[in-house]
Structure 1
């Protein structure tokens, strides 16, 4: 007979061994694939809160930090810049910051900030995401003869005052965004955690 020389036990052993080795190979090959589903360390930190040191920030100066891949501006406003804010209300689209999507509740005030002298904004124009430029001086500019300091977007000529509030009649539809933040002390801010949050 043809089957007389076949060792069925050995065949079962070889089949089982091949299946086990194949299964281990598939599992080992799947590990990098499954790990690729997890966010990278960079992605995990991209949404993490950012500590900002403003202890050396002088009046009229601005520092830039990155949070969630976006530039966040921190500006120490001068008394003259703060005094000029109320006079701009009649020229602004949303002077009272009533659009709740533009800032946390604590920033729905004329300064759009926790402390009047410190302004924290996402540095992207609300029109098409260009980066407006700071024009802090209270002097006439080619783009506005009554300029009282603020931000000018060179892409499509949108203008924002020193509280990030958008002027009427420009392409930008809304104020610059105020991110959630809180003061740790007078010289440090945490961006990404709202005031009052645990």
Structure 2
């Protein structure tokens, strides 16, 4: 027989050793590849929640932050600004914020915020991504003779009211987005975290 001189124990040992060494080599070769799948520290920071002190934010003023590469606006609205919100409903495309992708459920109300006086919006026009200008003055404007304050996008003339709701007849298809956010206390807000979950 051809197999009479073959040491089967040694063959098994060499086969097992080859499999173990080959498996270890494959694992070592995979480590750099697996490391590339983990987000870098810079990417983790870019997606991390952002906390801001709002104690000095005066009525009618705006703070601009960066979160996930987007501008986020925090605006302290005056009682006069809030009073204009119900008067604009007939001029708006989506006055009730029916699109659930535009804001978390806790901001689906007339003022589109947790606290009526504090508005939090992603400052990017929903048409082509320009950044609208903050136009809080309640005076006639060349682009709207009935202007009651809000946001105007100079790129293609889209307009949004003081709750970030889009007007009818403009290129922007939807309201400005409200990002996840929560209040840590009366003076600090955190962008990127929902209040009920504690997570983004």
Stretches of structure 1 lacking an aligned partner (at least 5 in a row): 1-19
Aligned residue number for residue 172 of structure 1: 172
1:86 is paired with a residue of what secondary structure? helix
Structure 1 residues 125 and 31, CA gap change in structure 2 (3 angstroms): same
Distance in 2, Cα, partners of 1:90 & 1:30: 60
Q: CA deviation at 1:180?
A: 0.6
| TM-score for both structures, normalised by structure 2 | 0.82
Matched ranges for 1:111-126 at <5 A: 111-126=111-126
Aligned residue number for residue 15 of structure 1: none
2:83 is paired with a residue of what secondary structure? helix
2:101 is paired with a residue of what secondary structure? helix
Distance in 2, Cα, partners of 1:111 & 1:148: 14
User: Which portions of structure 1, spanning 4 or more consecutive aligned residues, are displaced by more than 3 angstroms?
Assistant: 29-37
Aligned residue number for residue 156 of structure 1: 156
Distance in 2, Cα, partners of 1:114 & 1:60: 17
Aligned residue number for residue 92 of structure 1: 92
Distance in 1, Cα, partners of 2:90 & 2:71: 29
Count of aligned residue pairs for this structure pair? 175
Q: CA deviation at 1:144?
A: 0.3
Aligned residue number for residue 41 of structure 1: 41
Q: CA deviation at 1:34?
A: 5.0
Aligned residue number for residue 17 of structure 1: none
User: Residue by residue, what CA displacement relative to the aligned partner does 1:40-92 show, whole Å, maximum 9, x if unpaired?
Assistant: 11111121111111111001100011111111000000111100111000000
Stretches of structure 2 lacking an aligned partner (at least 5 in a row): 1-20
User: Residue by residue, what CA displacement relative to the aligned partner does 1:80-135 show, whole Å, maximum 9, x if unpaired?
Assistant: 11001110000000001111110000111000000110000000000011000000
